[in-house]
A and B are shown apart, each in its own frame.
Chain A
C-alpha cells in the first residue's frame, strides 16, 4: 500500500508526529513525504491514501 503525506502548511508538528506514529509500518506499506512548503516537486499520483496536513493559505502575496 502506498501512502503519501503532503504538508501544505502549518507548524510542522503534524509531520513529526506522523513520522513517530508511522515508525512501525506493516510490511506492505510504503510512505512518501512531500513537504510542499519546501518545493520538492509533485507528489505521486499512484498512491492509495494521502494524508494532508496544514491549512490552505489564500493570501495573494
Chain B
C-alpha cells in the first residue's frame, strides 16, 4: 500500500478500475451473502480508503468498450468528458441501494428497464415500472447505478450540459 501511496504523489491520474478497486466488490461484499461486512470481516477495502483516485470505472469487470473509449480519450484527461467517472469516485458502496437512494426514492425513475438489462447477476426486476432488487444476488458492481439514464441526466444538469457516461458509452460502441 505504501507503494500505491507513493505513486499517488508522483502520477497525475489514477483510475480505480473495476468494482473491487472502486468499492471493494465481490471480495468485500459478495462473500457475505449481500450483507454489510462486520468490522472484523472488512478485510478487503476500496482503493479510495487509502488514496484519492481521480476517476472510477465500475463494472465486474468493466466492459472492453468502456476501456477503449477511455484510452482513446486519455489526452482529454482532466477535461469535463470524464466528469461521470469523477462522480463515481465519491461513491464508496455502489450497489442497488445507491440506485434506490439516488433515483427511485427521489422519484426520478421512469421505468426504462436499463438497470434490469445491464445487471450482470439478474438482481433487478422491473415491477410496476419500478426496479425491485434481489439483494442476495447483488455483487455490488455499481453498473446499474452508472448506467441509469435518469441519474446521468441529473449529472448532466449539475455539470451544465457536459457529456454523460451514457453518451461516452454510446460513442465507444
* Interfacial residues, chain A to chain B (CB-CB below 8 A): 1, 3, 5-6, 8-11, 13-14, 16-18, 20-22, 24-26, 29, 36, 42-43, 45, 47-59
* Interfacial residues, chain B to chain A (CB-CB below 8 A): 1, 3-4, 7, 10-18, 20-21, 24-28, 42-47, 49-50, 53, 57, 60-68, 71-72, 74-75, 77
Contact pick for B68, options A1, A21, A49, A54, CB 8 Å: A21
Contact pick for B71, options A10, A22, A55, CB 8 Å: A22
A6–B53 CA distance with the chains assembled, in angstroms:
13
List 9 A-B pairs, Cβ < 8 Å. A6-B4, A9-B44, A10-B21, A13-B60, A14-B17, A14-B20, A50-B14, A56-B47, A56-B50
CB distance from A37 to the nearest CB of B (A): 12
**Given A55-B27, A55-B45, does the pair A20, B64 have CB atoms closer than 8 Å?**
yes
Contacts of B11 in A (CB 8 A): 45, 47-50
A9–B16 CA distance with the chains assembled, in angstroms:
12
* Inter-chain contact B67/A9, CB cutoff 8 Å: no
* Inter-chain contact A48/B43, CB cutoff 8 Å: no
A16–B27 CA distance with the chains assembled, in angstroms:
18
Contacts of A56 in B (CB 8 A): 1, 44-47, 49-50
A13–B25 CA distance with the chains assembled, in angstroms:
12
CB distance from B112 to the nearest CB of A (A): 26
CB distance from B69 to the nearest CB of A (A): 8
A30–B172 CA distance with the chains assembled, in angstroms:
20
Contact pick for A57, options B17, B44, B64, CB 8 Å: B44
**Given A10-B25, A21-B71, A22-B71, does the pair A55, B47 have CB atoms closer than 8 Å?**
yes
* Inter-chain contact B17/A49, CB cutoff 8 Å: no
**Given A56-B45, A56-B50, does the pair A49, B12 have CB atoms closer than 8 Å?**
yes
